[in-house]
Amino acid sequence: EIVMTQSPATLSVSPGERATLSCRASQSISSDLAWYQHKPGQAPRLLIYGASTRATGIPARFSGSGSGTEFTLTISSLQSEDFAVYYCQQYNNWPPWTFGQGTKVEIK
């Protein structure tokens, strides 16, 4: 099973600032990585797939990068609606599809 490790667990950021979230895979997953945003009481939302491709309707301030075992999600200028928990997920080697433990982006 591929283990996904996200860091940090919590990121405190002021609105308008840049946020950088990391995700590491326990073995190479090529670019088979997705990022999701999850707010309390809501359905998770797909942000990024293929490590760097934005999903339909996702603002350009969200960007993904990386391949192999190291990945990054960057939010260039945080808006109030971006405060949420973010998960990475690998779909290279399954089952199981595995998620990171999440990074909570909170208001500083």
Partner 1 sequence: EVQLVESGGGLVQPGGSLRLSCAASGFTFSSYAMHWVRQAPGKGLEYVSSISFDGTSTYYADSVKGRFTISRDNSKHTLFLQMASLRVEDMAVYYCARDRSYGYEWIDYWGQGTLVTVSS
Contacts with partner 1, residue ranges (CB under 8 A): 32, 34, 36, 38, 42-46, 49, 55, 85, 87, 89, 91, 94-102
Q: What is the smallest separation between the CB atom of 105 and partner 1, expressed in angstroms?
A: 14
Q: What is the smallest separation between the CB atom of 45 and partner 1, expressed in angstroms?
A: 7
Question: Is residue 80 classed as helix, strand or coil in its secondary structure?
Answer: helix
- Cβ 86 vs Cβ 98: under 8 Å: no
Taking the least distance from each CB to partner 1, the nearer of 14 and 56 is: 56
> Phi and psi dihedrals of 86, rounded to 5?
-115, 135
Pick from 106, 22, 107, 34: nearest CA to 70 = 22
Taking the least distance from each CB to partner 1, the nearer of 5 and 77 is: 5
